[in-house]
Amino acid sequence: MKLKTLLLGSAGALAVAGGAQAADLSVAEPVEYVKVCDAFGAGYWYIPGTDTCLKIGGLVRFEAKFHSAVNEYPTGAYQTLAHSAAWDFTTEARLTVTAKSMTEYGPLTGYIELRAKSDNADRTNAAYGDRAGWSNLTGAQPQSGNALYGTKLAYLDSAWLELGPLLVGRTQSLYEYNAWYNFDFNDLDADAGGNDQVRLSWAMSGFGIQLGIEDPRDRWGTDLSLSYSMPDIVAAITVAQGHWDGQLSVGYGQTSAGSGFGVQAGLTIKLDGITKGDKLGLKAAWAQGQVGGFAGGGVNNFGGAGSLSTGAGGSVWMASASFLHFWAPTVSSAIGVTYQNRSWLTGTTGATRWQAAVNLVWAPVTGFSAGAELGWAKVDGSPDLWAAKIRLDRSW
């Protein structure tokens, strides 16, 4: 009996002590799990403790380029390489962050896109490096002309905020219209990588009106007058219907050659009747020579000795067509053609430019694609350029 009494007493004492220790422990706070936000589409989630929805995306891209020794893969104007090799590799990374929340004034959006690239062939010049916002990580200062720009590059591609009809920040110009389905072969855009801008937009029943002012340094680079006094002024009318959408845009700017305006029209026709996902993109633009960049970038019309032009005046016009076709849900091809004419250079080198490209892309799983593209370019007075590119993408 004594042993039994002793064991029962010990067990009771341990239970009381255990209960006292448990009472002394602090109660753990409930875990707040990340919640899915479906108010703005797929991929958003709530930032814990806020009503802001966040979406993070990105891309890793590897490319192998094979090209004529006199020029690299044609993403822009004709230019001579600093090396004679007919191939090179490039690697690029992109990171995008979108933050959205609803307010009494409408959706509030903030967007950031950062890019970094390793490419020994990139350059800075009036048409590309400076206006594209590259940042040289090698420590060397940017140089003009066709100087080698560096091997490791990083830059802020886009950063903007939007509240209701107001958008401010750096993004693609509202003058532009995307109607090109090949890789990054040049479709003669006028914004050269984006513009810092202030924009107002209104939309109703598939129709929209946009008005904006943009920093002219982003578009004109060294063609901008040192004493410029006004921003670029742009406007666009947009239409979005069931089987097609389009845009008519106008722009007014001022360069060292003088002031002028450009007009651009773009159209996308959805051809799901052929195969789901098929579409045809068309674009055409015309601009006065002083602001020829509104019709495809490149040199603007500078009169006088030593310039590429034969005198003041003239105009630039361009046209492009691109067709995307799906052979199967995971296999597609795009073919595109562009043409540009500079009237003031008629009969001289560089008056016209032709470009064409065709590709084949395989996307076996979501977020991955592999493709190959063949391109050709011809500028008056210069030899033909043939080039090829192999591209692998992983996006999320």
The whole-number pLDDT of residue 95 equals 97
Residue 354: burial class (beta carbons within 10 Å; 0-12, 13-18, 19+) = middle
Give ∠ CA 90-355-171 in degrees, rounded to 5. Answer: 60
- Residue 251: inside a domain, yes or no? yes
Determine the residue type at 298: G
Cα separations in angstroms, 100 against 80, 194, 301, 338: 45, 22, 44, 38
DSSP characters over 21-87: HHHHSPPPPPP----EE-TT-TTEEEPTTSS-EEEEEEEEEEEEEEE-TTS-S-SSS----SS--SE
- For the chain, strand residue ranges (E) read 36-37, 44-46, 53-67, 87-103, 106-118, 135-136, 152-163, 166-171, 195-204, 207-214, 232-240, 244-255, 258-270, 279-288, 315-328, 331-342, 352-365, 368-379, 385-395
Predicted pLDDT at 196 = 96
Tokens of 108: 């509030």
Q: Are residues 44 and 57 in contact, defined by beta-carbon separation less than 8 angstroms?
A: no
pLDDT score of 186: 59
Length of the chain, in residues: 396
Within a domain: 6: no
The domain tally of the chain equals 1
CATH code of the domain covering residue 121:
2.40.160.10
* C-alpha pair distances (Å), 3 with each of 7, 12, 14, 103: 6, 14, 17, 74
Q: Is residue 7 part of a domain?
A: no
DSSP assignment letter at 148: B
Phi first, then psi: give them for residue 343, nearest 5 degrees.
Answer: -65, -30
In a domain, 21, yes or no: no
Q: Are 72 and 92 in contact (CB under 8 A)?
A: no
| Predicted local confidence at residue 9, as pLDDT | 54
Domain with 304 in it: 32-395
Which pLDDT score, from 0 to 100, does residue 123 have?
46
Q: What is the pLDDT of residue 148?
A: 42
**C-alpha–C-alpha distance, residues 258 and 314, integer Å:** 12
Rounded Cα distance between 370 and 278, Å, is: 19
Q: How many CA atoms lie within 13 A of 30 on its CB side?
A: 4
Query: Is 15 within a domain?
Result: no
Q: Specify whether the backbone of 49 is left (phi greater than 0), alpha (psi in -120 to 50) or beta.
A: left
Tens of pLDDT along the chain (396 residues)? Answer: 554 454 445 545 444 445 545 445 555 566 567 799 999 999 999 999 899 999 999 999 999 988 775 555 554 444 445 556 778 888 999 999 999 999 999 899 999 999 998 876 544 333 333 333 323 333 333 333 333 445 677 889 999 999 999 999 999 999 999 999 998 765 666 666 789 999 999 999 999 999 999 999 998 888 888 888 899 999 999 999 989 999 999 999 998 888 899 999 999 999 999 999 999 999 999 999 889 889 986 656 654 333 444 445 688 999 999 999 999 999 999 999 999 988 777 666 678 888 999 999 999 999 999 999 998 888 887 778 888 999 999 999
Full 3-state SS string of 72-108? CCCCCCCCCCCCCCCEEEEEEEEEEEEEEEEECCEEE
Model pLDDT, residue 32: 62
Q: Measured between alpha carbons, how far is 349 from 343 in angstroms, rounded to an integer?
A: 12
SS3 track for 123-144: ECCCCCHHHHCCEECCCCCCCC
146 in any annotated domain: yes
Report helix, strand or coil for 15: helix
Token pair in block for residue 89: 């590799």
Indicate whether 159 belongs to any domain.
Answer: yes
- pLDDT score of 245: 96
DSSP label at residue 274: T
Establish if 244 belongs to a structural domain.
Answer: yes
